[in-house]
Amino acid sequence: MTRHRLDPTSETTNDVYSRDHRPVLAVDAGDTVVVGSLDASGHLERQTVPGEARPRLFAEARGHALTGPIAVRGARPGQTLAVHFDDVRPGEWGWTVAGGRETPVTTRLGLSDVAPAWLLWEIDADAGVAVESRGWQVPLAPFLGVTGVAPAEPGEHSTTPPRAAAGGNIDCRELVAGSTLYLPVQVADALVYLGDGHAAQGDGEVGGTAIECPMTTEVRLDLVDDRPVPSIHAETPAGRITFGFDADLDVATGDALDAMVTWLATLLDVDRATALALSSAVVDLRVTQVANQTWGVHALLPTGALGV
């Protein structure tokens, strides 16, 4: 297996998805890639005060600054791409902003038309802590907000909403180092995009941003067949996870639970009604994110629950 390095430059970064993008790197299944990514806004220089305008890679960005796409040779629709997160290390600074734009959350809280509130963080990856400019401290739990493959549909696609078929802006805080995310391959060679580093985030990403930061992520990309569920799912240190994404929170919740019941029925060789009964005893339903036009929900079967 080969180890590759991919740094974020104007030639290796995109702010939309497209099956027509030329791969910036081609790897074989099983290869490891150390991927550098800019923060979601593509800052080329750090802020020195909260909210400071600094140069960005894209003058008028349409979406997240993502490194990729990476081609996985031989990947084909019908297979599943396994993205193993072996190491996730944030950069030295990050930012958070909330308010000042219209979303369901800011409208509900009366914060759509106020001046946005900015936070600026110093990140100490070795100490495992982020310290805000006014002294507040948050323990680090870094992960990538965006890991996705090119959609099958032609044209360019926004990076903002997560997609049930292709993944992308999932924003699941459980996808830390030691996790594996499984994505259904949509196009030949998969075409994987990674970025939107989060040094820390709560479930929901309720203000619309996490601690947004540059990131260095070591991933191993593999191809697998015959997974227990055909949709996006993950194995993490916290447990097994299934996802639902939809503009309707009820639909997103139902999709996440449906996939978890299917997985649990397979794991324990029981019928779906029994799997649902067991889910009611041990499975957690969590709102993944409310920030990205499409609601995200994940179902978590904790590690060791039911002896599996």
The CATH superfamily label for domain 3-224 reads: Acetamidase/Formamidase-like domains (2.60.120.580)
The predicted-structure confidence for 54-105, as pLDDT tens digits, reads as follows 999 998 879 999 999 999 999 999 999 999 999 999 999 999 999 998 888 9
The confidence score (pLDDT) of residue 44 equals 97
- Model confidence pLDDT, tens digit, residues 96-127: 999 998 888 999 999 999 999 999 999 999 99
Q: Before 237, cis peptide (omega within 30)? A: no
What is the pLDDT at residue 1? 86
Mean pLDDT along residues 3-16: 98
Q: Tens digit of pLDDT for each residue in 193-215?
A: 999 999 999 999 999 999 999 99
| Tokens encoding 94 | 């990050």
Task: Give CA torsion, residues 174, 175, 180, 182, to 10 deg.
Answer: 100
Mean pLDDT for the chain overall? 97
pLDDT in tens, 229-267: 999 999 999 999 999 999 999 999 999 999 999 999 999
The CA distance from 76 to 120, in Å, is 42
Distance CA 49, CA 102 (A): 24
* pLDDT higher than 90, residue 178: yes
pLDDT computed for residue 67 by the predictor: 98
- Give the predicted TM-score (pTM) of the model: 0.97
Amino acid, single-letter form, for residue 281: A
pLDDT over 90, % of the chain: 96
Report whether 139 contacts 129 (CB < 8 A): yes
Query: What span, in angstroms and rounded, lies between the C-alpha atoms of 259 and 235?
Result: 14
pLDDT for res 207 = 95
- Res 276 pLDDT > 90: yes
Backbone angles phi, psi at 273, to 5 degrees: -65, -40
The arithmetic mean of pLDDT across residues 155-178, rounded, is 97
Q: Give the Cα separation of 44 and 58 in Å (integer).
A: 10
Task: Supply the pLDDT for residue 195.
Answer: 98
Average pLDDT in the 126-133 region?
98
Topology of domain 233-307 in CATH is Endonuclease I-creI (3.10.28)
- Where do the domains of the chain lie? 3-224, 233-307
At 149, is the pLDDT very low, low, confident or very high (cuts 50, 70, 90)? very high
